[in-house]
Amino acid sequence: MKSGALRGEFVAKSKIPGPLERRHLIERELSADRALALAEAYLEQDRTFEAVDFLAKADAAERLAELRCDAVAAGDVFLLRALAEAMEDPPEREEWAALATAAAAAGKDRYAAEGGRQAERGED
C-alpha cells in the first residue's frame, strides 16, 4: 500500500526547521514573535531541549522558568542545565536536591546521583 504522499494527498509541512536551518536561525537575529513561534512549534512536538534557544531569543523568561520547574520535576539534569544557561541563572542547591529526589523516584539513578552531587557542591 502506498503512503498518502505517494497517492497525491496533501501532507502538511512541519513548522519545525531542519537542523541546518535551525542552526542558521539561532545564529541570526529573529523577532521575538518569530522566535516564540518556533519555540512553541518545538514544544508542541515535545522537543523541549530544542525550544530553549528560541525561548531565550524571544526573552520568554516566564516560559523558561516554567520549563525549568518541569525539568526539576522530571529529574532532567541536561534540561535544567540548558535552561539555567539560557536564563543566565545557575541552579540553586534546593533545585538540585529536588531534581535528585525526582530523578530517584523516576528510576533515573545517574541523574539522581548528579543532582545529589551538585546539591552538595552548591554550584553547577
* pTM, entire model: 0.83
Query: Of the candidates 82, 85, 76, which has an alpha carbon nearest to the alpha carbon of residue 114?
Result: 76
Say if residue 70 is in the same domain as residue 53: no
Q: Where are the alpha helices (DSSP H) in the chain?
A: 19-27, 32-44, 48-57, 61-74, 77-87, 93-105, 109-121
Q: pLDDT digit string (tens) for 2-41?
A: 444 444 444 345 688 888 999 999 999 999 999 999 999 9
- Domain count of the fold of the chain: 2
Q: pLDDT digit string (tens) for 43-81?
A: 999 999 999 999 999 999 999 999 999 999 999 999 999
Q: Last residue of some domain: 43, 59, 75?
A: 59
Residue 4 included in any domain: no
Q: What is the pLDDT of residue 5?
A: 46
Q: How is residue 92 written as a grid cell?
A: 540553586
Say if residue 69 is in the same domain as residue 17: no
Say if residue 69 is in the same domain as residue 111: yes
Say if residue 86 is in the same domain as residue 109: yes
Q: Which domain holds residue 97?
A: 65-124
Cα–Cα distance for residue pair 16/62, rounded to 1 Å = 22
Strand, helix or coil for residue 121: helix
Cα–Cα distance for residue pair 24/47, rounded to 1 Å = 18
Cα–Cα distance for residue pair 60/83, rounded to 1 Å = 11
Residue 2 included in any domain: no
